[in-house]
Chains A and B, each alone.
Chain A
């Protein structure tokens, strides 16, 4: 390109706003979708909190059977997903849970809390054991978010430092 041609191009005024929008648009949409993702994640979080609280209450009062009802792992997931699954996709497929009972929350013979790693995985991922009347029960539920936006730290979106939303309940089973 000649010097004269370059000068003409630099002075060109047509489509200037389209070019600027092409530069700024990605940043704008990045911010907008980040806000949207945050809102969706926290909506799911509150729905999960409520679903787990209701399922925990069912476990606490001894509702359901130990074969397929809420007193079993599969039944617990069904109970949570009947509510939470209305809002979030693939609840039954991705929900991780640890429902553990024991004579105490701490100490020898007590409940061992399942751990959540930085990748948002609960370990062990599916436990349902030891529910006894009048004894402590710890319920931990984790739902890995099925959507993300590149460059957005998911720990910020879930507000807990991991790419999963977490709900937990501690209770004593009814006598």
Chain B
């Protein structure tokens, strides 16, 4: 009995370690996984936000005789004059995504508005005036344009519903000429387990931005009398434009 107990006390630490080691390993991998997932989400969020901000500086708007913005021409896909094209901005944003590669990345940018003009037939609804996807460009991980998904149509996406909610005080598009940029970015996240399981989740982030009306040279018809009245209009003179946001 005494002899058996003595033998049984051998290798106790080894057995204990054998029990603990898998837990430590799981702890190590779990720490990796959580950190990597958190950081990828944060980078993707910054990616969508910075792209929206970059697009918002590339305004090309047309105003009517009273200074009300009537249409927002699409930001061109390639560089044109003083305007940086969407594919170039996309390539820059991908550079900003470092050190993550743009695996499975998709980038959709839409300009959602309410205008007095008839809704384009391509939008499928003929209501006038109406909220609609004024223009939209979708890109893939190589920043090449792809087909048009329905990011900007009402109710197609939670963020869009939030942004264009009809007439509520929380809505970002409340009246004629109001216009927002919606950017939705997705990225494939393989994670630590993805190295073993060869599967990848798709992360998605949405960003919203107002047009900045930053460049007076990109605004046509710059005579505005009487002064604009609604909150998102702006007045222009021969030397430039003054926004009247919230005034």
Contacts and interface: CB of A to CB of B under 8 A. Distances in A.
Contacts of A24: 13-14, 17
A103 B78 CA distance: 13
B32 A159 contact: yes
Contacts of B32: 38, 156, 159
A23 B25 contact: no
Given A20-B14, A105-B91, A116-B99, A31 B28 contact: yes
Contacts of A20: 11-14
Contact of B24 (A32, A38, A171, A172): A32
Contact of B35 (A27, A32, A38, A110): A38
B122 interface: no
Best-buried of A13, A53, A172 by chain B (most CB within 10 Å): A172
Interface stretch (A1-9, A42-50, A68-76): A42-50
A170 B96 contact: yes
A27 B39 CA distance: 29
B144 interface: no
Interface in A146-175: 156, 159-162, 166, 168-172, 174-175
A104 B79 contact: yes
A24 B12 CA distance: 11
Interface residues of A, number: 48
Contact of B215 (A138, A166, A168, A175): A175
Interface stretch (B46-54, B62-70, B129-137): B46-54
B28 A172 contact: no
Interface stretch (B81-89, B157-165, B171-179): B81-89
A55 B166 CA distance: 38
B89 to A, nearest CB: 7
B202 interface: no
Contacts of B99: 116, 159-162, 166, 168
Contacts of B25: 31
B83 to A, nearest CB: 10
B31 interface: yes
Contact of B17 (A27, A35, A156, A160): A27
A46 B43 CA distance: 10
Contacts of B126: none
A102 B77 CA distance: 18
Given A16-B9, A113-B95, A170 B50 contact: yes
Contact of B214 (A35, A170, A175): A175
A28 interface: yes
Contacts of A46: 39, 42
Nearest to B16: A24
25 contacts: A13-B6, A23-B14, A24-B14, A28-B24, A42-B35, A49-B39, A105-B92, A106-B88, A106-B91, A107-B79, A116-B98, A136-B88, A136-B89, A136-B92, A159-B36, A161-B99, A162-B99, A168-B95, A168-B98, A170-B50, A172-B54, A172-B89, A174-B57, A174-B214, A175-B215
Interface of B: 6, 9-14, 17, 20-21, 24-25, 27-28, 31-32, 35-36, 39, 42, 46, 50, 53-54, 57-58, 79, 82, 84, 88-89, 91-99, 214-215
Given A17-B12, A170-B96, 9 more contacts: A35-B24, A35-B28, A38-B28, A116-B99, A136-B92, A168-B98, A169-B50, A170-B50, A172-B57
Interface of A: 13, 16-17, 20-21, 23-24, 27-28, 31-32, 34-35, 38-39, 42, 45-46, 49, 53, 103-107, 110-111, 113, 116, 134-136, 138-140, 156, 159-162, 166, 168-172, 174-175
